[in-house]
Structure 1
Amino acid sequence: MLDLIQLKSKIKNSSAPLNIIIGSEKTAYANWLPTNIESLNLLEKQSFQNLFGEKKVTKFLAEHVFEHISYDNALIALKNCYQYLEKGGSIRIAVPDGFHPNKDYIDMVKPGGYGEGADDHKLLYDYQQLSKVLEDSGFRVQLLEYYNEQQQFHFVDWKSEDGHILRSRRFDKRFNEPLGYSSLIIDGIKD
């Protein structure tokens, strides 16, 4: 993981598209810069200003981050991302799917569930709720992977280079196991 000084230097000196992983912990992908709460606090506009200055981000990626903050804070975070995103840029968000048909999955990922990190989950989004918070932040929504109210799985082919999601139909080997692990995956696009 880059420290804040290294990260700011890479951003300032880069002429390449600026692709940012939010809440990356140990996640690292080619052509993407990792951040965590110490380098980018989504709730503080000043944190964005300190990190990006006048630069605009091409793509944000947040895999299993937004379930850890309240709906009101998600709205603040997404408005901040929208402000620092270039026109035509996007944010790809993956969260546990609240319309998943498997009760064991829901019990694992719901707030207070038994799964890893679920003790800190604040929300269990479905595609309608996540679409709404993105739209209320100014984004146009493109659904990529989700279950609907009838517990039918929907997906469109999406490009990993636009934001790789490990916990997805294509990349998570558990998808076809009895638990059937998947994520709700949505792109928010700034028109």
Structure 2
Amino acid sequence: MSLRSLIRSIVYKPKNILDLIQLKSKIKNSMSEVNIIIGAHNTDYNNWLPTNIENLNLLELNSFENLFGDKKATRFLAEHVFEHISYEDALTALKNCNQYLVKGGTVRIAVPDGFHPNPDYINMVKPGGHGEGAHDHKLLYDYKKLSKVFEDAGYSVNLLEYYDENGQFHYHEWDSKDGHILRSKRYDKRFNEPLGYSSLIIDGIKK
């Protein structure tokens, strides 16, 4: 299977996805911030533009050029997308996003947390795990690994929600308007249930 086919198979086209012409027009004519959802599926937030591989291929810089023209994004948001691609592809994707971000712009990523202390959670989300979509997970990030790929791509890092090596949960206030994450301490009721579902959430900030 080609890389393009692989990504197409894991990042689904939502019912509300804009076609490329609509999306390019909205970006070109925007008089305010341009906020982009990566791998949107059925995600649709006010003041955010949903994309999938049909209109933004993260691994192809010319796809960004075709979509943005001379515009740049203020924010990119990817909730549970990056665990489906390799570290090398994540690095390429983040470098491409960096080129089309304004200075100080952010990429907010949420992925399953590899330092989560509950083994049932790990068995659900690990590559080949029993959770939804886990059969296609390529790696299980912890805050160190995800910070490193951001830093290798030229970003500074702001950790928002994560477990450390000792199973201690860390939480720093974040604004949903800067990128809403459903699978989070604030918005996922499972966090307070026995499984304690959470995500590793990090902002990468363009220097």
TM-score range normalised by the length of the shorter chain: over 0.9
- In the alignment, structure 1 residue 87 sits paired with structure 2 residue 103: yes
- In the alignment, structure 1 residue 37 sits paired with structure 2 residue 53: yes
Q: 57, 80, 86: which one pairs with 1:70? A: 86
- In the alignment, structure 1 residue 16 sits paired with structure 2 residue 32: yes
Which residue number corresponds to residue 164 of structure 2? 148
Report sequence identity in percent: 76
Counterparts of 1:81 and 1:160, CA distance in 2: 20
Q: 188, 191, 196: which one pairs with 1:172? A: 188
TM-score normalised over the length of structure 2: 0.91
Counterparts of 2:73 and 2:29, CA distance in 1: 14
TM-score normalised over the length of structure 1: 0.99
- In the alignment, structure 1 residue 5 sits paired with structure 2 residue 21: yes
Q: Specify every segment of 5 or more residues in structure 1 that has no aligned partner in the other structure, as ranges.
A: none
Q: 100, 108, 126: which one pairs with 2:124? A: 108
Counterparts of 1:78 and 1:2, CA distance in 2: 23
Which residue number corresponds to residue 48 of structure 1? 64
Which residue number corresponds to residue 162 of structure 1? 178
Could you tell me which amino acid in structure 2 is paired with residue 26 of structure 1?
N
What secondary structure, in the 3-state scheme, does the structure 2 residue paired with 1:86 have?
strand
Deviations 1:33-90 (A, max 9, x none): 0000111110000110010011010000000010000000000000000111000100
- In the alignment, structure 1 residue 58 sits paired with structure 2 residue 52: no
Aligned residues: 191
Q: Specify every segment of 5 or more residues in structure 2 that has no aligned partner in the other structure, as ranges.
A: 1-16
What secondary structure, in the 3-state scheme, does the structure 2 residue paired with 1:58 have?
strand
What secondary structure, in the 3-state scheme, does the structure 1 residue paired with 2:40 have?
coil
Which residue number corresponds to residue 181 of structure 1? 197
Q: 150, 155, 166: which one pairs with 1:134? A: 150
Counterparts of 1:116 and 1:134, CA distance in 2: 26
